[in-house]
Chain A
Amino acid sequence: EAQVTQNPRYLITVTGKKLTVTCSQNMNHEYMSWYRQDPGLGLRQIYYSMNVEVTDKGDVPEGYKVSRKEKRNFPLILESPSPNQTSLYFCASSLDRTDTQYFGPGTRLTVL
């Protein structure tokens, strides 16, 4: 089944403890992106990647890192999480940057 998977789906952590949220797609998509969703703000783009080893900042990249070493994976790294990074995170992918984006199920992160 074609899908975008994210792990974990739920995570509660403490300030400063490094964490990684994984994103994987099995559709051979070139474009991948991370968003965070906060009430009243909609989705805001964190980082995107047009292909392997090509990443760039979205609207809210501060406090986040990404890497794209393989086409299928696009992990989101929080080196030192803070409470203002408590949010619902979505990974998305598309065949190329002009094609339909398919969203993962979301990861709900709470930073205490």
Chain B
Amino acid sequence: AQSVTQPDIHITVSEGASLELRCNYSYGATPYLFWYVQSPGQGLQLLLKYFSGDTLVQGIKGFEAEFKRSQSSFNLRKPSVHWSDAAEYFCAGTNNFNKFYFGSGTKLNVKP
């Protein structure tokens, strides 16, 4: 069965520190993968996506993610976190662009 797993429910980092949010996928074929951010009381906004090609993808707001087929992972990274990055982050995937599967989300807290 297709699925996306985010093993971390909550993460707290200090402002200025680096960030890595984990995402693992389970797909039979090559997946297409996404990271979204949801600020409190808001809808979701796409940060970046991976379809094919270069396995390191750049997104908005200084985020990047690396697709690693050998580890079935698509982890989100940011070198220096800002207080405004506090939000909930969702990894999502599809292999046919009809049905989309989301992870359970990771809530990011940023300490001053």
Contacts and interface: CB of A to CB of B under 8 A. Distances in A.
Given A90-B43, A100-B46, A43 B98 contact: no
Interface residues of B, number: 21
A106 interface: yes
Interface residues of A, number: 24
B105 A50 contact: no
A100 B32 CA distance: 12
B61 interface: no
Contact of A45 (B44, B49, B100): B100
Interface string B58-99: 000000000000000000000000000000001010000111
B67 to A, nearest CB: 17
B102 A48 contact: no
B90 A43 contact: yes
Given A97-B97, A98-B97, A41 B43 contact: no
Interface of B: 6, 9, 32, 42-46, 49, 51, 90, 92, 97-105
Interface of A: 4, 33, 35, 40-45, 48, 50, 56, 58-59, 90, 92, 97-98, 100-101, 103-106
Which 10 interchain pairs have the tightest Cβ spacing? A103-B43, A97-B97, A43-B102, A42-B102, A42-B104, A103-B44, A98-B97, A42-B105, A100-B46, A42-B103
